[in-house]
Amino acid sequence: MKWLYLIADFSCGEKTIEAVIEAGIDYIQLREKEISSLEYLKRARRLRELTAGTKTKLIINDRLDIALLSDADGVHLGQSDIPVKEARTCLGPGKIIGATAKTVEQARRAVDEGADYLGSGAWFPTETKKDAVPISQEVYKAIIKEAPIPNVAVGGINAENGRIPLLCGAHGLASSAGILKAQDPVGEVRKMRRLLEEFVTV
CATH number of the domain encompassing residue 12: 3.20.20.70
Segment 54-67 mean pLDDT:
97
Q: Tell me the average pLDDT across 177-192.
A: 96
Fill in the amino acid letter for 144: I
CB atoms within 10 A of CB 105: 11
Q: Is residue 171 part of a domain?
A: yes
Q: Percent of the chain having pLDDT more than 70?
A: 97
> Per-residue pLDDT for 8 more than 70?
yes
d(CA 54, CA 184): 21
For residue 130, what pLDDT is reported? Answer: 66
Phi and psi dihedrals of 117, rounded to 5?
-155, 165
> How many Å apart are CA 154 and CA 138, to the nearest integer?
16
| Residue 180: domain span | 3-197
Residue 80 lies in a domain: yes
Kindly indicate the confidence band of residue 202, based on its pLDDT and cuts at 50, 70 and 90.
Answer: very low
Q: Is residue 193 part of a domain?
A: yes
Average pLDDT estimate for 61-88: 97
> Can you give the pTM of this predicted structure?
0.95
Q: What is the pLDDT of residue 20?
A: 97
Average pLDDT, the chain: 95
- Spatial neighbors of 83 by CB under 8 A, at least 6 apart, are 77, 113
Assigned domain for 156 exists:
yes
Out of 39-43, 82-86, 99-103, 198-202, pick the least confident: 198-202
What does the pLDDT read at residue 133?
84
**97 within domain boundaries:** yes
Burial of residue 138 (CB within 10 Å: 0-12, 13-18, 19+) is exposed
The answer to whether residue 202 is domain-embedded is no
Tell me the pLDDT band of 81, cut-offs 50, 70 and 90: very high
Q: 146 in a domain, yes or no?
A: yes
Q: What's the confidence (pLDDT) of residue 156?
A: 95
Domain count, the chain: 1
